[in-house]
Amino acid sequence: MAFTNRAGIVFCAVFVTLLQKLNGAELLPNVERASFPKGFIFGTATAAYQYEGAASEGGKGPSIWDTFSHQPGKIQGNGTGDIAVDQYHRYVEDVWLLKDLNMEAYRFSISWPRVFPKGTGVVNWEGVKYYDNLISELLKLGIEPYVTLYHWDMPQALEDSIGGWLSPQIVEPFARYARFCFERWGTKVKHWITFNEIHSFAGAGYYTGVMAPGRCSAPYGNCSQGNSLTEPYIVSHHALLSHAQVVDIYRKEFQADQHGVIGITTDCTWYEPLDQGSASDKQAAEYSVQAFLGWYLDPIFFGDYPASMRESLGSRLPTFTKEEAALIKGSQDFVGINHYTSNYATYNSSTGEITQTGYRNGVPIGDPTVSEWLFIAPTGMRKLLGWVRNRYNNPIVYITENGVSEANKDQELPLVDQLKDSVRINYYHSYMQNLLLAIRDGSDVRGYFAWSLMDNFEWAVGYTVRFGIYYVDYKNGLARYPKSSVHWFQQILKKKRVV
């Protein structure tokens, strides 16, 4: 018998709750604004190269992604960010879409070569004006800007002249660029993020070579130059030193007057032991999280890389001087965490190596998605936040990205069917439930940013997948349409009227 009235629905919910209590099951929290702590921030996350377009307009210089995406075969479907979703010209409309979602924050990145076309030297004031306008539009609608300084678009000029992140010389131009941003927008921007996912651009850019600048060595990838065994660690080291320098500048020169905060965004897959009864697999899972997240957060909280990485990598892992260690230790007011999925980890006794996989005996750890790396495994959110809480003495955390992909089915389905994204709604609901459980456990999480506001250029896979809450019609003028998830967010985030 189906209950179709409101009273019946309430009765069913109460009945389920009673069953959970009788069975000793943990009660899952309701996902609505009122369930989160007072002052908790909701927003969406984006990145300049994936959104702005106008790749050669307004005085912008080329980035390594402009170069990389134009190499045939590097991007699925040979897509580029030349136009992307054209936010450079449509930011007013897009900010309104954000407001219509009942969000109160927008995480976006500044394109370094749009501000400094050569990475340093002459300022491109037309590009600066774009960010002036975007920030003003956000604030006009009561939306707080959360600004990322580096989301993978290294100025090509610095890549050509000094080797980009491979050179220790990169610290100085990055610091000059950051100082300019603080000077220009620091009175309006109160949340700064130095880097987005060093792990991703170091690994995919310098280990497998599937992302810009496309460096690697055999057998890890097929690139014309690079060294997969050393360069990811060198790149990461210089990025961490750049982060520390920029945080120091902000704290010494701007924070007291501007009253903002600064942190870094890291990404991490959660790892479960493949064999829950195996001590070596449990250790493999722990080491996997250390080598993913601890690689970047251990230096920031403790002043050095994890001991497990030092032991396994030896001289391939760079060292910090005493001065560098002192500068980087404590270089955060908050930590941003991008979390999407979970994997298993197992220790291979024959090779002495750790293997990571999404499958146990052919069964996936969670529902697979169109992205081969992304399984829907929501309990990983709670477990990862617990790991961070325990290892780093419960720092302030923002979930700066969380979301799920679906295939671009423009050729298969009519528009009306592509707007039905029940998988995305269920994903957000289950991950937010586990986020609430982590907060209940004691994790100090202050905000949540969904990836992403709308469908966009998704790096190496181009436009073949859709992560957006809003649908973008790539064949008809980049029109934006609300998916079912738009209505879901509008409902769970609506603010109750005060009588």
Tell whether 12 is covered by a domain: no
Tell whether 11 is covered by a domain: no
pLDDT given for residue 471 in this prediction: 98
Tell whether 451 is covered by a domain: yes
pLDDT given for residue 24 in this prediction: 56
Tell whether 122 is covered by a domain: yes
Tell whether 127 is covered by a domain: yes
Host domain of residue 78: 39-493
Q: Is the pLDDT reported for residue 18 higher than 60?
A: no
Average pLDDT, the chain: 94
Tell whether 3 is covered by a domain: no
Tell whether 139 is covered by a domain: yes
Q: What is the rounded CA–CA span in Å between residue 468 and residue 450?
A: 9
pLDDT given for residue 3 in this prediction: 30
How many percent of the chain have pLDDT more than 90? Answer: 93
Q: Per-residue pLDDT tens for 86-141?
A: 999 999 999 999 999 999 999 999 999 999 999 999 999 999 999 999 999 999 99
Active site residues: 401
Q: What is the rounded CA–CA span in Å between residue 183 and residue 185?
A: 6
Q: Is the pLDDT reported for residue 6 higher than 70?
A: no
User: What average pLDDT does range 471-491 have in this prediction?
Assistant: 98
Tell whether 8 is covered by a domain: no
Confidence of residue 497 (pLDDT cuts 50, 70, 90): low
User: What average pLDDT does range 202-210 have in this prediction?
Assistant: 98
CATH at residue 119 = 3.20.20.80
Signed CA dihedral, 62, 67, 68, 73: sign only: positive
User: What average pLDDT does range 429-445 have in this prediction?
Assistant: 98
Predicted TM-score (pTM) of the model is 0.94
User: What average pLDDT does range 356-365 have in this prediction?
Assistant: 98
Say how many domains are in the chain: 1
Q: Per-residue pLDDT tens for 61-83?
A: 999 999 999 999 999 999 999 99
